[in-house]
A and B are shown apart, each in its own frame.
Chain A
Amino acid sequence: MNELSPGKNIVLVGNPNVGKSVVFNYLTGRYVDVANFPGTTTNVICGRFGCDAVTDTPGIYGISSFNEEEKIARDIVLHGDILVNIVDAVHLERDLFLTQQLIDTGIPVLVVLNMIDEAEQHGLKVDIKVLQELLGVPVIATSAVSGRGMPQLKEAIYQARVGRVLPQVQEKIGELPDQVPRPDKLLILEGDQYVAGKYKLIARNYRDEIYGARRRWVNELVAMSVRETGRGQALGAALGRWMIQPVTGIPLLIFTLWAIYQLVGVFVAQTVVGFTEETIMVQYFQPLARYLAGHLVAPESAVGKILVGQFGVVTMTVTYLLGLLFPLVLGFNLVLAVLEDTGYLPRIATLLDRMLMVFGLNGQAVIPLVLGFGCVTMALMSTRLLGSVRERRIATIILALTVPCSAQLAIIATMLAGLGPGYAVIYGLIILSVFISGGVLLDKFVPGKSSSLWIDLPPLRLPRLQNVLQKSWHKSKEFILEATPLFALGALALGLLDVSGALEAIENALIPLTVNWLGLPKEAASGFIMGVIRREFGTAGLFSFPMSDLQKLVALTTITLFVPCVASAMVIFKEWGWREGSLIWLGVIFMAFLVGGTVNQLLHLFISIPHTSPLTMLAGVIILWLVLILGLSWLKPAHDK
């Protein structure tokens, strides 16, 4: 084969959490993000294996047009030359359904029976010879994470064969015209409107019939090839049960959140950042940068200020990115990686399903909301896994408005730690009430229907240290690489505004908003301007001038609710178009200032009343408001869909 020939197109297909990404990594040597719940690998990843192309697909249960991932996977599969189907040996009844569908496309298939060691622990014995015979394609047993069977995989790829197609499919395939490619014929028979439309044909309605026949065949396959040698106890079956029952699940969730706070909010945000930012950056790096820059330009000149001044491109960018953000982002990504890999997230979704119904969402919305605490941009993309446009709209607005990303959250945590527990509680109450009222009101006013929860609970697993470390390191590195130019540009823009006197003009112009309405020092305007560039950047900017404790509370509230960063705003525009995107964006800014200002005005009102604590009064008002808004949601008849 010469270099010009494109080679074969090898496609990896499988259900979620079967180890596709590990196989991909093994074949191509490229690192891929792996996660333990449906919907994370939405981007298509390609690599090379010899002179052939390898494409990874999102985890799916079948190829059809039921959701975004399936559509992507379907299109890749239809153009594949060899399908490498990775199946989970523990869940053959489920996984072989997809296998048979792939075989029915008429494309050569190789089945990789992964997690064979786990199946053995469960007391399952798979007869590979029988399975091979019945499917008509080669089957190899592997354990991708431990490397068992992997060397054979590389050779076995080219032994992929066209398997035994279901008789019901074989019989009907002749109904379709010859010019339609064989794989596409299957989907047209299964009623796929989109594929049928490509050939100006009408989709057949054999889906129920073919699916039924396939299900019966797969059940027979399993009955003939799998022997249960004894019932093994699944790891953490009891724990899995406790996680979804409210009585035990809610304390467990609270404990988990507390542990995360201790790790990230206390240990990383205070101890680690104290060292990296205060010691390394402020004590050593900044004076060094100023000293070196002093050889080239006068520190007090305009260029000097832009390079190493208060908003210096060199000093501010490096200090914030490496001293402050990198440790924080790494800490959060570690936590998220552990949550994802253990299989806890789908269980949180089940636990909170009832609660999220108040917002017109189902439990699955927990996944984007939790991811939002890592990175809102990523979370906005993962809203695609929600069942309907209505749910995506609600989740997007709640994410944009109330969920602070890891970097911002950590700075907030640091600032709150300095204010004391009373303030932290009030801050939490404010954000929670915006979250709840936002959800309840959106549920009332956003038109359409929400879908019900339908989620696969993967087995609980102890995460592999190497995988967790690799994944969080990779994500954090990517974050820093992506953020660096934005930060540098932002610092440059601010430096230029500062030196030219424009910053002061803007600060003065915004006095009615910042000073009169929010009750903050006029310098807060620069924090908000920075906040547009990156949220945490703006939050960090609030550290640079003195404020009273009450002012800090108002500032934190406003900046938490304030616009998402440039990157997430871009995702909103991309997903919702310019018109609705701008509406969401402006609406969020308006709400941030409305809530922040209301808090400030209320606090001022309460201060003027003698013998009361303004914080307690504010808490009272918020709780009253929550009762009112929840009352509103109960007045509405429950969904009966």
Chain B
Amino acid sequence: MTLDKCKKGQKIKIMNIPNEIIRSQAIRFGISEGAVVTCEEVVPAGPVVVGMYKQQIAIGRNLAKSISVELIN
């Protein structure tokens, strides 16, 4: 599935970030492919907020659609 489909509170594993620049930027924030993040907030039709450690990043809807993730239970 893709990041925009996740629901608040779910733990997800980032599988693939296709955009090279975004991938490099994400890795600096601690979000590398394979990283586990929490979906902290989903703004209706808007950005998805993911959190890891003690920080939050808002990711635009279109970008979230391109990031594939896997649900962790």
Contact = CB atoms under 8 A, between A and B. Distances in A.
A93 B30 contact: yes
Given A363-B47, A455-B58, A97 B23 contact: no
Contacts of B52: 93
Given A97-B30, A215-B32, A453 B58 contact: yes
B68 interface: no
Contacts of A244: 41, 43, 47, 49, 58
B55 A91 contact: yes
A633 to B, nearest CB: 15
How would you classify the secondary structure of chain A's contact residues: helix, strand, loop or mixed? helix
Q: What size tier do the contact residues of chain A reach?
A: 35 or more
Interface in B46-65: 46-47, 49, 52-65
A66 B55 contact: no
Contact of A212 (B27, B43, B57): B27
A353 interface: yes
Nearest to A214: B27
A394 to B, nearest CB: 16
B72 interface: no
Nearest to B55: A91
B57 A457 contact: yes
B60 A66 contact: no
Among B22, B27, B47: residue with most chain A CB under 10 A: B47
A639 B62 contact: yes
Given A350-B46, A454-B60, A241 B41 contact: yes
Contacts of B32: 211-212, 215
A455 B57 contact: yes
A634 to B, nearest CB: 13
B58 A245 contact: no
A639 B60 CA distance: 12
A456 interface: yes
* Top 6 closest pairs, chain A to chain B, by CB: A453-B60, A452-B60, A452-B63, A354-B46, A350-B58, A457-B56
Interface of A: 61-62, 64, 66, 90-94, 97-98, 122, 124, 207-208, 211-212, 215, 218-219, 234, 240-241, 244-246, 346, 349-351, 353-354, 357, 362-363, 452-457, 459, 639-641
Given A211-B27, A457-B55, 16 more contacts: A66-B24, A91-B54, A97-B28, A98-B28, A244-B41, A246-B46, A350-B58, A353-B61, A354-B44, A363-B47, A452-B61, A454-B25, A456-B29, A456-B57, A457-B56, A641-B62
